[in-house]
Amino acid sequence: MTGLTHPVVELTGVSKTYGDVVALRSADLVIQRGELLAVVGPSGSGKSTMLNIMGTLDRPSGGTVRITGHDVEQLTDRELSALRAGTIGFVFQHFHLAGGVPAIDSVADGLLYSGKPRRERRRVAERALRRVGLGHRLYHEPHQLSGGEKQRVAIARAVVGDPPLLLADEPTGALDSRSGAVVMELLHELHEAGTTVVVITHDRDIAASLPREVRVKDGLIEHDSASAAVTTAALPEGAAR
């Protein structure tokens, strides 16, 4: 079986505790290939914990996590690293671009473990940068880029290996509204090209603009618009809604 026959993400009864703090409680979530959705909630709601678990950066305290059909708990650290490298792209709020490194090499670094020679990594990186509209900024260093351009470099780095899943953690949080709109438009374009995109955000307007909204509060999934849609569709004609 391949990942194409499974949801990209399946969380079943997933919990996470840190000492006496319960960060996530019995979360059930299924994300199908090709979805675009927001996981939204205030600071401390558990949404970042959920991102870390979906991204296999952290293991749950309880429950089952499957990524493209693979049970994370059954994988060795080496197998988990390989799954992460080939399946998941990450975009963070603060870009994480090394000073003094041109954009093309920042993106090429996303392929360091691919076994490709440097020239090939740079060629693929250039293609990714052109894809996000930065073909004219290939050799610019971070201090020569605007905030929006830095985030587009980070997105290019995240998708340079064509991962099926992109996790974007507050991707507009450090940007002005205009740059944020450009980044969201880019995420929509990536989704339309076939990437599964999960946006972690505290911004209710961004969440409401996406096809699916998962709201998290106090470690609990309190609302999932996909489930609500299924429930509504299942009501008989004429039933109270």
Tens digits of residue pLDDT in 128-184: 999 999 999 999 999 999 999 999 999 999 999 999 999 999 999 889 999 999 999
CATH of 3-234, one of 1.20.1050.10, 3.40.50.300, 3.30.70.2860, 1.20.58.100: 3.40.50.300
Give start and end residues of each alpha helix (H) in 88-143.
Answer: 103-108, 118-131
pLDDT per position as a tens digit, 77-113: 999 988 998 899 999 888 889 999 999 999 998 888 7
For 176-207, how does the pLDDT look when each residue is reduced to its tens digit (9 = 90+)? 999 999 999 999 999 999 999 999 999 999 99
- Side-by-side strand order, sheet with 62-67: 21-31, 9-18, 62-67, 70-71
Q: 93 with 128: CB under 8 angstroms?
A: no
**Cα dist from 152 to 16, 148, 165, 184, 193, whole Å:** 32, 6, 17, 10, 16
